[in-house]
Structure 1
Amino acid sequence: MIEAAMIWNEPNNKSHWDPNIDPDWTMFADMAVAAGRAIKAENPDIPRVLGGMSPIDPGWVNNMASKGVLDNVDAVAVHGFPLDWNLWKLDEWPEKIREIKAVTDLPVWVSEVGISTFGAEEVQAWGLKRTAELLIGQAPRIHWYSLYDLPRAWPATTRHREAEGSSYYRHFYMGLLREDGTPKPSLEVFGEYAPQLGLCQWFHYEDHRLDDAVAWMKRLGVTYLRTGLSWADSFRPNALDWFDRQMEALQDFDVTVTFCFTPEHRGIEPHHTSPPLDKQEFADFCASMIRRYAPRSAVARPPVQAMTG
């Protein structure tokens, strides 16, 4: 069920990790090392992936290497949105992968790549085709973000929200499907590249879209998926019931599970981007999820070296 475990999401982005509390990522590194060791202790056959960086930054990778993080993961990941938020061109994707490969021998995954339809749906369809041409064969895992548009009633996980102007509203139009579940032109294009392309789809607590998402992914020929199990959500009522339902629904896919989001009451500051008061609590959460959904007694996955593409 679980193909890989990802430690955090965009840890070098202030929307997901607070640089005012941890400006040199020392606390993040300590937490990531503890989590990597905890996951390996539970099941050494589960590849551990360092949460996708955004922006793509070789200097940050070197920082993580100097702090021992890369000794406790089996792959690193990058996120890129050159037509929406990044200050580089779509055709630069191969160069961005090479920049990271130049500073680490670990496999480099693309755990989020996508294009918003905020301006025009045709741009996403064209961009998806071009992205597939540029990235297939360059990375062992390419997760297109995302299947669904983000419902407008939900907040996007970003730091300053509406103050970001149009940059904020682009978050709501990243899907192959509109909020009401109807297809965009890019859905048919995506189907031409599955299963070489996978998907990244975050499911909120008790997400009403889960079963429909599974049906769509099977229809599209998707074989691998990235999603999350939120440490913060683990404190909600009946959290394990929801986690069980989510993971059972996704059992036919190779799932990369991302562990992230600090519970407000367990952070140095009461925010999901805060370093935790105790790094071991996050490591224990990761271990408990591996123990529950990818126990060592399960059939072992191929080692990460077999997924280097």
Structure 2
Amino acid sequence: MIEAVMLWNEPNNKSHWDFEIDPEWTTYGTMVKLAADAIRSERHWLLRVLGGISPIDPGFIANMGRQGVLEHVDVVAVHGFPLDWNHWQIHEWPAKIEEIRVVTDRPLWITEIGVSTFGAEEVQEFGLRRSAELLRGKVERIHWYSLYDLPRAWPATTRHREAEGSSYYRHFYMGLLREDGTPKRALRLFPEYTPEFGLCQWFHFEDHRLDDAVAWLKELGVRHLRTGLSWADSFRPGAEAWFDRQMKALEPFEVTLTYCFTPEHAGVRPHHTSPPHRIEEFADFCARMTRRYA
């Protein structure tokens, strides 16, 4: 059921990795090498994916190459949202892919791509169609983000929150389904692009949407799913039972499982974006989860 594991999420985005603490990403690079080797020792066949980058920055990938990190992973990944957050236009997607291919010979996946309905649902319809026209057949994996809107009662994982203006609120409108589970216009189009298009859906701790999400994924014809297991959540009471339930529910799909989020007590700063004091603890978490679920 697990075809790949991803080592962190958007490490070149300050909302997910504090590069004020780690300005050259040397801690991140060493951590990835250690975790990737730990995963390989547990399941030698499992694909190891460098954390999907956002923004798409060939300089970051070149840095990982100079550090020897790319020798320890099997795939590099990018995230792109040109109709919401990026400073480039949607028709530039093929050029953005080529920018990364210039600096690595590793296979390239798009593990998050999406369009919000913040302005209008018709924009998401256009974005889905145009993304498919530009990208089908260009990469081995495409994961549309996301199935559900983010509930308004939950915070978005971003550093400036409401100070970002509409950029912050767009986080809550990325789903093909509204928060209450009702369909948006683009949902009816999505089966035209499956199973070539997968989905990315993050599940929060004890997420009430899990069972309904599985039913929708099956109905939409989704085969490839990207989700995550939080290192920080692993210290909550009942974490093991929740992880077991989540992963059991996702058995019908080929899963790319993302390992990320530093426990507050383990970080250089007490925050989920912080580099950990001991990178070996993250590698141990990756090995345990891989052994248990892969």
- TM-score, normalised on structure 2? 0.99
- Separation in structure 2 between the aligned mates of residue 232 and residue 176 of structure 1, nearest angstrom: 28
Deviation of 1:189 (Å): 1.1
Partner of 1:284: 284
Paired residues for 1:208-219 under 5 Å: 208-219=208-219
Deviation of 1:289 (Å): 0.4
Deviation of 1:163 (Å): 1.1
Residue identity in the other structure for 1:265:
H
Deviation of 1:133 (Å): 1.1
Residue identity in the other structure for 1:37:
D
Match status 1:9 vs 2:9: yes
Partner of 1:298: none
- Separation in structure 2 between the aligned mates of residue 152 and residue 6 of structure 1, nearest angstrom: 27
- Separation in structure 2 between the aligned mates of residue 135 and residue 51 of structure 1, nearest angstrom: 20
- Separation in structure 2 between the aligned mates of residue 235 and residue 132 of structure 1, nearest angstrom: 40
Paired residues for 1:80-91 under 5 Å: 80-91=80-91
Paired residues for 1:228-239 under 5 Å: 228-239=228-239
Match status 1:36 vs 2:36: yes
- Separation in structure 2 between the aligned mates of residue 104 and residue 196 of structure 1, nearest angstrom: 24
Q: Deviations over 1:108-165 (max 9, x none)?
A: 0000000000000110011101101111101100000000000000000001111111
Q: Deviations over 1:191-213 (max 9, x none)?
A: 11111100000000000000000
- Separation in structure 2 between the aligned mates of residue 221 and residue 62 of structure 1, nearest angstrom: 36
Residue identity in the other structure for 1:127:
G
Count, aligned residues: 294
Residue identity in the other structure for 1:245:
R
Paired residues for 1:54-93 under 5 Å: 54-93=54-93
Partner of 2:132: 132
- Separation in structure 2 between the aligned mates of residue 36 and residue 132 of structure 1, nearest angstrom: 31
- Separation in structure 1 between the aligned mates of residue 254 and residue 228 of structure 2, nearest angstrom: 13
- Separation in structure 2 between the aligned mates of residue 30 and residue 193 of structure 1, nearest angstrom: 38
- Separation in structure 2 between the aligned mates of residue 170 and residue 137 of structure 1, nearest angstrom: 28
Q: Where does the alignment leave 5 or more consecutive residues of structure 2 unmatched?
A: none
Partner of 1:304: none
Q: Where does the alignment leave 5 or more consecutive residues of structure 1 unmatched?
A: 295-309
Partner of 1:116: 116
Paired residues for 1:229-308 under 5 Å: 229-294=229-294
Match status 1:49 vs 2:49: yes
Q: Deviations over 1:80-132 (max 9, x none)?
A: 00000000010111111111011110000000000000000110011101101
- Separation in structure 1 between the aligned mates of residue 133 and residue 282 of structure 2, nearest angstrom: 38
- TM-score, normalised on structure 1? 0.95
Deviation of 1:225 (Å): 0.2
Residue identity in the other structure for 1:75:
V
Q: Deviations over 1:220-267 (max 9, x none)?
A: 000010000000000000101000000000000000000000001100
**Runs of 4+ with deviation above 2 angstroms:** none
Q: Deviations over 1:25-75 (max 9, x none)?
A: 011111111111110011110000001000101111010011111010000
- Separation in structure 2 between the aligned mates of residue 128 and residue 87 of structure 1, nearest angstrom: 19
- Separation in structure 1 between the aligned mates of residue 134 and residue 243 of structure 2, nearest angstrom: 35
- Separation in structure 1 between the aligned mates of residue 224 and residue 20 of structure 2, nearest angstrom: 36
